[in-house]
């Protein structure tokens, strides 16, 4: 079960993520990035954060501790932006916090050029994302952090932000657990991820007992798709366990090289330019802007 803390000081919002999480200090003297129940992504994003994050930790991947945060909007009265205040007002009560990693850097394409990731670690992360249908860890938005940047320990990859995973829970319509998704543009695809070794290692570990353990960490109030919270938990358990058993069908193995990715990006940008009217061709294509030139301020949301 996740620890519960109470937010005692609101520090700042993080605008790099669509959910606008906030950094808070809590009564346990910890600092956390809080994702709010009132955000546009809703409670299902928090359910995905808990299930995938706790599963990652159970499988030995680095993922910051999650806590349940009691939040009183009154502590953030000084927030100057109305839309953020409205988010806080809609989120009074229990929210989800992730341990803040001070000094962490985004795993950007520029950082990736000089950061070593072995094929075994890359394979395990890709395997987890494929299992949980987390298609939001791409070369353009890695949802990976490099931490620590100082200290005696060497920098390591840390996973964050799994709110877009578990896409099947947005429509409980019998989506095939063996469905294959496109992971060609995974953030770690050009590290030659050894997903077959990961499959051999991790499939036996993702047992029914483990899945019941991680789903038990989700608060009852966030599980509203079934008659009871326990029925909802069992639905997650059943789907993920069936998907584990079908790993041979969805295991991603086709990853382009850096050079192939660059060529694809150049071709896409050229097509976008050709489709623009003449008066717009001098305007930068912000959507096609190389990832290395984008604003990679701390992204924890």
At 128-143, the pLDDT tens digits run: 999 999 999 998 899 9
Residue 34 in tokens: 């809080």
Residue 46 has pLDDT above 70, yes or no: yes
For residues 254 and 294, the model is more confident at 254
> Which pLDDT value is given to residue 272?
76
> Which pLDDT value is given to residue 301?
40
> Which pLDDT value is given to residue 245?
98
> Which pLDDT value is given to residue 150?
65
> Which pLDDT value is given to residue 269?
77
Mean pLDDT of the chain: 90
Q: If pLDDT is split at 50, 70 and 90, which confidence band does 267 have?
A: confident
Instruction: Report how far apart, in Å, the C-alpha atoms of 135 and of each of 98, 100, 161, 181 are.
Output: 21, 24, 11, 8
Q: If pLDDT is split at 50, 70 and 90, which confidence band does 297 have?
A: very low
Mean pLDDT to the nearest integer, 274-290? 57
Summarised one tens digit per residue, pLDDT across range 63-108 is: 999 999 999 999 999 999 999 999 999 999 999 999 999 999 999 9
> Which pLDDT value is given to residue 296?
32
User: Helix H segments across the chain?
Assistant: 43-58, 82-89, 109-112, 119-131, 195-202, 208-215, 229-245, 247-250, 258-274
DSSP 36: P
DSSP labels, 115-130: ----HHHHHHHHHHHH
> Which pLDDT value is given to residue 113?
85
> Which pLDDT value is given to residue 15?
79
What are the residues whose beta carbons fall under 8 Å from the beta carbon of 16, sequence distance 6 or more? Answer: 295, 297, 298, 299, 300, 301
Residue identified by tokens 């990832």 is 291
């Amino acid at each position: 079960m996740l620890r519960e803390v109470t937010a005692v000081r609101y520090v700042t919002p993080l605008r790099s993520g669509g959910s606008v999480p906030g950094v808070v200090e809590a009564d346990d003297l910890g600092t956390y990035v809080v994702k709010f129940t009132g955000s546009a992504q809703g409670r299902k994003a928090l359910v995905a954060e808990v299930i995938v994050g706790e599963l990652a930790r159970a499988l030995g991947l680095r993922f910051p501790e999650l806590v349940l945060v009691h939040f009183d909007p009154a502590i953030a009265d000084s927030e100057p932006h109305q839309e953020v205040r409205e988010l806080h007002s809609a989120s009074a009560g229990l929210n989800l916090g992730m341990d803040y990693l001070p000094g962490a850097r985004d795993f950007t394409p520029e950082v990736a050029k000089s950061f070593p990731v072995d094929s075994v670690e890359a394979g395990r992360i890709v395997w987890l994302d494929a299992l949980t249908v987390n298609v939001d860890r791409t070369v353009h938005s890695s949802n990976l952090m490099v931490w620590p940047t100082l200290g005696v320990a060497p920098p390591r990859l840390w996973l964050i932000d799994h709110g877009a995973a578990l896409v099947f829970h947005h429509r409980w319509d019998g989506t095939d657990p063996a469905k294959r998704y496109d992971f060609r543009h995974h953030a770690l695809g050009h590290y030659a991820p050894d997903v077959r070794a990961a499959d051999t290692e991790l499939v036996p570990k993702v047992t029914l007992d483990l899945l019941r353990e991680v789903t038990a960490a989700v608060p009852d109030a966030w599980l509203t798709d079934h008659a009871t919270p326990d029925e909802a938990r069992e639905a997650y358990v059943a789907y993920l366990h069936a998907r584990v058993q079908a790993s041979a069908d969805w295991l991603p193995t086709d990853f382009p090289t850096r050079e192939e990715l660059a060529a694809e990006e150049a071709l896409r940008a050229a097509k976008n330019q050709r489709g623009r009217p003449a008066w717009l061709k001098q305007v930068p294509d912000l959507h096609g802007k190389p990832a290395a030139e984008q604003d990679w301020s701390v992204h924890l949301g």
